[in-house]
Structure formats: structure tokens, C-alpha cells
Structure 1
């Protein structure tokens, strides 16, 4: 069986809005939007990776609140899992620190106003469906 590398995407909700992050690198992804996140390190739990990635990429203190069911294929051997997350009380506001040049808070009615990366589209769609059946916190 080939090795799978899990990438976590954070569906960070605050005030009923989802945070989207615009890629600044690599060049082929620059200008497109994604859920912030990154690779799960060896021996790291995926929910811990969400918290670490949000701190490294956005400078926020967040907590993972639950996994969205399913996985979405990226380039082999990568697969994406999405976790919902929220800012902890007292966290600094998110700001782009690594790999992004702009952030945008999107209400559910405006989710598709940005040009999501192709592989994020089904993940975002499924995340919205999942959250529609649950509280967004």
C-alpha cells in the first residue's frame, strides 16, 4: 500500500463567516483561494495540525472543533481532510504570515464569490453541507 500524506484544511468560522486565504505561492496557485492548513507531521494528530497550521500561517490561537466527514484527493500521495475550527477567546485577528497575501471572511451566501483552488471546491461544498446540519459555533 502506498503512503498517504494527510493535509488538513481549516474551516475557521467566526461570527457566522468562513475564512478564506489567498495563495501567494507557489506561482501556479498564486491568486486562488483555499482553506488555510497544511501537512500533518509524523506522529501529529490531525486536529493538532489544524491548530499548529493556523498559528503558523495566520498568527491565531484557535481550536479544532470537529472533522468534516470525508477526504478529498490532492496530488498523489496527498489527501485533504477538513476540520472545523474557531478562534479562542482573546486570539489576535488572523493575518497572512506564510503562503498567503490576503484573507477574506465570507458569509454563507458569499462563499462562491472567491476563486477557490479546484481541489478545495468539493471540500468547501461538503463543509457547508455538513455545517448546515450542525451548529457552526
Structure 2
């Protein structure tokens, strides 16, 4: 399934436009679904019927405000790693399901990276992909202007 946990405690509203934050989260979710796509398709009986949960894929979105940064994190994980044996097979003898290793085009986030002096970090670790976007809260931009 898709889980969210977004908390902006003491975030100065208006520094990052709500529409920009929504567009970034949407773009991150698109990348997560693209990485999980082979797993979702392999479980389809009919086109468009698979869900992330039925395919053993979990996509989670997290957001937080830390000091002068607004942080968004998306993690895509293949579920049930405890069912794998040493040879990389599941106990039923099937091959382990893997995420498709997609290329995250950082350029696709450029409008917001430039506007908010942001950073992007992508990390692949086993059966997990993590995409982190950090945006400047706007305080540095205010000083420059």
C-alpha cells in the first residue's frame, strides 16, 4: 500500500508554495510506482487490477521540517524479506521479486531545486529504494534578495 507520515511542526507557511510541495510529492510517487511496476504487472490478472499491497510492495512518503529545510522522503520496499532463503529464493521456490532499478532524472525536479535551493538524494539498498528531496525553507533566499 501507500503510507504517508507528514509533519511540519513549526514550519513557516508560505515559504514553499503548497502547489510546489504537492507537485514534488506527486513526482516522487511517480518514480516509486515506476520502480515497482514489474512487480505490479506480474500479479495482474487483468490490466489495472493489481495493488501495491497485493504485489508485496510498500511505498511510503514522509515529510518533515527540520531547521531551515523542508524534507520529503519516499521509500519503496519489497515486502516479506523474511521469507527469502540463502540462495535468494523464496521458501516456495520462486525467485525473489525485485524492484526495477530506474534512473531518477534529477533534472525533472529542477524547477523546484532552483527556486528553493534544493537537493536530491537517491539510494538503492537491496530490495529498497529511497528518494529524498530537501528544500530550503526560504530564509536564505530572503537574505539574498
TM bin (shorter chain): under 0.3
Richer in strand (by share): 1
Scaled by the length of structure 2, the TM-score of the pair is: 0.25
Q: Which has the higher contact order (CA 8 A, sep 6+)?
A: 1
Richer in helix (by share): 2
